[in-house]
Amino acid sequence: MGIATTRDTDETYLRRALDLAARGPLGDPNPRVGAVILDADGTVVGEGWHHGAGTPHAEAEALRAAGDAARGGTCYVTLEPCDHEGRTPACSQALLAAGIARVVVAGTDPHPVAGGGLARLRAAGVDVAHGVLVEAAEALNREWLHAVRTGRPFVTWKVASTLDGRIAAVDGTSRWITGPAARRDVHEIRARVGAVLVGTGTAIADDPALTVRDADGEDAARQPLRVVMGERSTALPADARLRDGAATTLLLPTRDPAVALAALTERGVRHVLLEGGGHLAAAFLREGFVDEVVAYLAPALLGAGTPCLADLGITTIGDAARLRVTDVRLVGDDVRLTATLERS
């Protein structure tokens, strides 16, 4: 009975820590982390979450709130305490200095530099437990964990097309294929990413703003990096909306997806939203760099026009790129389908 009670208690406070972590900023270079500290009698004495790059970590915030009451207590944290001193002190050392007796962690940190906090705590005699609510912790930081493990950002390809797969009519017109609800939904996705990427052709032909706008149509306070990729990207017209100063724009004069993703990784981008066009999406798909697809299907038919995807070099149905559907829903009059790429 005691073991079950301990696990139930651990889950309760780790769920609270996960709720706190979810308050952290989306699109940040760092993971979202939450922490809850109990004193030696089991009373909550401190809580905290990470507010973004350069700010105190969740454990530091919770320890500051707990003060001396942390000594002999328990720290519940959604991600393994860091063991690296950068812009902020190492959390493993802070927990030891505060006299924390037990640390319960949902997931371990795969980062080659910052990881290792649990080993240090164990070596110092702290009672360490991990493996509770792992799936929830992984989902919270899916993109960040992917970037750390693979060395490249998580890539979501967003496409809006007619039911027959067209993203523009024969005359080049494309506004608007989907309805206002779907377009608002796209702004919510942009708000969660570190960068929005388009090809030069799309940037010139559509003159998109690629900003995040709120329900009133105003630019949000936080904007993702806008990226134009292609050998002609530096020739983007001076009056293009992507040069309007509403958000930072990066011009990458390359057609190589690996080069582009490496450049974004160096800038701390962990999640990229690929918005267009069909040739750019095909280039990323051919290299295996698309991790998720968010497709908006409008109840409309064109019969001709620009296809949503260029040639992938697939000649037989057995070689089709297969996806696993994770969500399907109506957004206004349009269907939004979310899927992940099946890896062989």
DSSP letters along 23-46, please? TSPTT-SSPP-EEEEE-TTS-EEE
- Condensed to tens digits (0 to 9), the pLDDT of residues 281-297 reads 999 999 999 999 999 99
Q: What is the pLDDT of residue 342?
A: 76
Positive or negative: CA dihedral 186, 242, 201, 272: negative
Quote the distance between the C-alpha of residue 225 and its chain's center.
Answer: 13
Q: Give me the residue spans of the domains in the chain.
A: 6-145, 153-341
Q: What is the DSSP letter of 319?
A: G
The DSSP line for 203-272 is: HHHH------B-TTSPBPSS-PEEEEESTTGGG--TT-GGGSSSS-EEEE----HHHHHHHHHHTT--EE
**Considering 11, 47, 59, 218, which one is annotated as catalytic?**
59
- Condensed to tens digits (0 to 9), the pLDDT of residues 174-198 reads 888 999 999 999 999 999 999 999 9
Considering only the top CATH level, what class is 6-145? alpha beta
Q: What is the pLDDT of residue 218?
A: 83
The CA distance from 158 to 160, in Å, is 7
The CA distance from 168 to 278, in Å, is 11
Share of the chain above pLDDT 70, in %: 98
Annotated binding site for Zn(2+): which residue ranges? Answer: 57, 82, 91
The CA distance from 335 to 297, in Å, is 5
Q: What is the pLDDT of residue 275?
A: 92
Answer left, alpha or beta for residue 131, where phi above 0 means left and psi between -120 and 50 means alpha: left
Residues of the chain with confidence (pLDDT) below 70? 1-5, 344
Span between the terminal Cα atoms of the chain, in Å: 44
Q: What is the pLDDT of residue 217?
A: 79
Q: Which two tokens stand for residue 166?
A: 């067209």
To the query of whether residue 59 is one of the catalytic residues in this protein, the response is yes
Considering only the top CATH level, what class is 153-341? alpha beta
Q: What is the pLDDT of residue 340?
A: 94
Annotated binding site: which residue ranges? Answer: 57, 82, 91, 160, 174, 176, 190, 202, 206, 210, 213, 275, 277-283
Q: What is the pLDDT of residue 344?
A: 60
